[in-house]
Amino acid sequence: MTEHDLSGRTALVTGASRGFGRATSTVLAGAGARVIGVARTKDRLDELRAELGGEFVAVCADVTDPTVAGQLIDAYRPDVLVLNAGASPLSRPIHLHTWQTFSRTWEVDVQHVFHWTREALLRPLRPGSVVVAMSSGAALGGSPISGGYAGAKAAIRFLTGYAAQESQRAGLGIRFSALLPSLTPGTALSDAALAGYAERQGVELGEFLGNLGPVLTRERVAGAVARLAGDPALDAAAYTLSPDGLAAIDG
């Protein structure tokens, strides 16, 4: 749940069928929003619709298709847009990648944020709307075994910042924020990365996890998205999210 009432608002979440997207859809629906969940996996979307009821609309689509963003924005007129979809990167050092494996997250994560952000500005979304793009703490610290992913998430942060500037220049009244959560066990992506880091350090996964200290949960990340959606005062172009909470990034 979230302290912000989103009743009467329409939220569109990409990558809604699993991980952060599924948790975010659940939290936004619990806050009163009508949620449009977009993903490629129909069975998982149907499961989520059965859980959330009639205020959840399942849309099976490829969010990297450059025509889909405009079509769905026109069809549903969201005033909360959560750009969460992403590919699962391979956790391996750079010399064990091909360009195709290294760039996987660029072709999905970055490309879909580009298309949807572009359409949010061109349509444009209604004044007072908010676009939250899922980046990662790896965008700041990098990752020797997920370099393509870290670079893609850094690009998402910058794209979102550029969009925020364009919204302000044009007086559109649309907030754009990138969210950079720290490692969050319990998602397929983070679990694979954690296993890779543990192996790289030559320790058991349990020991590595124990050394991390407090960590985020999917629900905590989803709650942060809901806060950004519901609080107009949170207008920075990028926020980190750690177990200590949200923090705006300057510059």
What does the pLDDT look like over 41-94, one tens digit per residue?
999 999 999 999 999 999 999 999 999 999 999 999 999 999 999 999 888 899
Helix (H, G, I), strand (E, B) or coil at 123: coil
The predicted pLDDT at position 211 comes to 84
**Mean pLDDT value of segment 133-157:** 94
Output 197 or 97, whichever has higher pLDDT.
97
Question: Has residue 34 been placed in a domain?
Answer: yes
Instruction: Please enumerate in sequence order all residues whose Cβ is within 8 A of that of 131, keeping only pairs 6 or more positions apart, or say none.
Output: 81, 82, 83, 116, 117, 120, 125, 160, 163, 174, 175, 176, 177
Question: Has residue 128 been placed in a domain?
Answer: yes
Distances (CA, A) of 23 to 43, 75, 123, 128, 245: 16, 24, 28, 24, 18
171-228, pLDDT tens digit by residue? 999 999 999 999 898 877 778 888 888 888 889 988 988 888 888 999 999 999 999 9
Q: Is the pLDDT of residue 245 over 90?
A: yes
Number of folded domains that form the chain: 1
Question: Has residue 208 been placed in a domain?
Answer: no
CATH number at residue 162: 3.40.50.720
Residue-range definition of the domain harbouring residue 58: 10-182+219-240
Question: Has residue 249 been placed in a domain?
Answer: no
